[in-house]
Amino acid sequence: MMLCRSAVAALAVIVTLAAPASAQDRRIPGSLAEVKLSYAPVVQRVAPAVVNVYAAKNVTNRNPLAEDPMFRRFFGAPGNQVQRSLGSGVLVDPRGFVVTNNHVVEGADEVKISLTDKREFEAEIVLKDSRSDLAVLRIKDSQERFPAVEFADSDALLVGDLVLALGNPFGVGQTVTHGIVSAVARTQVGITDYQFFIQTDAAINPGNSGGALVDLSGKLVGVNTAIFSRSGGSQGIGFAIPANMVKVVVASAQGGGTAVQRPWLGAKLQPVTPEIADGLGLKRPTGALVSSVIGSSPAGRAGLKAGDLIVSIDGQIVEDPNTFDYRFATKPLGGNAQLDVVRAKQELKVAVALQVAPDTARDEIVIRSRSPFLGAKVANLSPALAEELRLDPAGGGVVIVEVGDGSAARNVGFQRGDVILSVNGQKLIKTGDLEKATGQQSRLWRITILRGGQQISVILGG
């Protein structure tokens, strides 16, 4: 059957009107260039700067029965085992600086870098920053100029932006996945001290840790660090450390530092609950509430007071204490940060100096006398160490900074960050006090420590 020209036109109108709106927007590609639209140019630019990181750690295996001469003939002497881990990294400086996750290289005795062209290099750990879970490596003994990615401004990232994740998942080789930014300020993740992450649905799997999250211009917007998964594989919820935090850590390493120096506020902050928001007359629970201030700190000198509500820093909104911690930690040292504060329902501005916390003599020592603290490294609690360990420096005292593997201190259950208040009734002010107290033989040890803000008292046998 044939239709006349007018009938065909009428039918076309009916079909057009009946078609859904989304179909009307579809069209056949108008050129070969449109058919070939691809992420390939971005990947080709970035991929040479994304590396595999191989870390090896020597571990001594100890069988308790091997310590007994009777059983030693069966079990032999303690042997060494090499534990290996695999992750990803990103070249961020042509001189061979690589950024990765701290947990990828933690405790490593040997680190190697593998490039996309299959070449391998030994690398040294230049800087480790457990607070951000970042580490900076440098390729050893090479005068070569390596391909490196540029940093993007992660604060300019928006929910819905397209991103690519590059890394080495499951050790299968370099892999690229794509997705969108699902959130730009996830603060309740519980991965690092700085709870402020980019969330993406680009597939991230084990082995991707330390890999690159890049935008469509090929710039680094984040370093992939963790996934939320019930199966161990990607479920579309991955987290990356924002590039603006990565830049701070890398800059410290490039400047020859072995630790990251960040501004010190000197005030304790707490979240605003719905009940507190009602009491303050807020429409919603937002901001960071000051609960205490150290008088000699930048916050104290600026006039910040307990009960003040910080609502923004340098014009950027503060949703909660985690947001403030991230924003403040990424500020360059020197100058001031402008805080918008609500005090007694009045708005005011407070200029806080961007200075590092003072680091008085730590006097670190390792306890070697026979006691429950045998094998623990302790230090005097300075403001800088308190900031590093997220402790209240007001009380001072002696803090455990390291617990040796297989030591008596570890077997007892002591942890990094435990503040030792007293031993056998003797109050501790400095590390020498603990060394003296543990040097005295005792059948019972009465110990009081502060852990997680709670005071714990225990009695242990000698």
Catalytic center residues: 103, 133, 209
Determine the Cα–Cα distance for residues 459 and 443; give it in Å rounded to an integer.
Answer: 10
Crossing angle of the two packed helices 243-254 and 321-329, in degrees rounded to 10: 40
Write out the DSSP string of 113-170: EE-TTS-EEEEEEEEEETTTTEEEEEESS--PPPP-PPBP-GGG--TT-EEEEEE-GG
- The region, left, alpha or beta by phi > 0 then psi within -120 to 50, assigned to residue 304 is beta
- Classify residue 371 by burial, with Cβ atoms within 10 Å: 0-12, 13-18, 19+: buried
> What secondary structure letter does DSSP report for 335?
S
Cα-based distances in Å from 435 to 41, 174, 386, 419, 428: 62, 51, 21, 15, 10
- Note every long-range contact of 15-19, with CB atoms under 8 Å and residues 24 or more positions apart, other chains counting: none
d(CA 187, CA 288): 13
Which helix (DSSP H) or strand (DSSP E) does residue 81 occupy? strand 79-93
Residue 261 is encoded by which pair of tokens? Answer: 């120096």
Find tokens 């440098």 and name the residue: 138
Query: Phi and psi of 212, rounded to 5°?
Result: -95, 140
The size of the chain, in residues, is: 462
Structure tokens at 222: 């984040």
DSSP string computed for 201-252? -S---TT-TT-EEE-TTS-EEEEEEEE--SSSS--S-EEEEEHHHHHHHHHH
Kindly compute the dihedral angle of the four CA atoms of residues 403, 408, 414, 420, in this order, to the nearest 10 degrees: -90
Q: Tell the residue number behind the tokens 């108008």, with chain if given.
A: 30
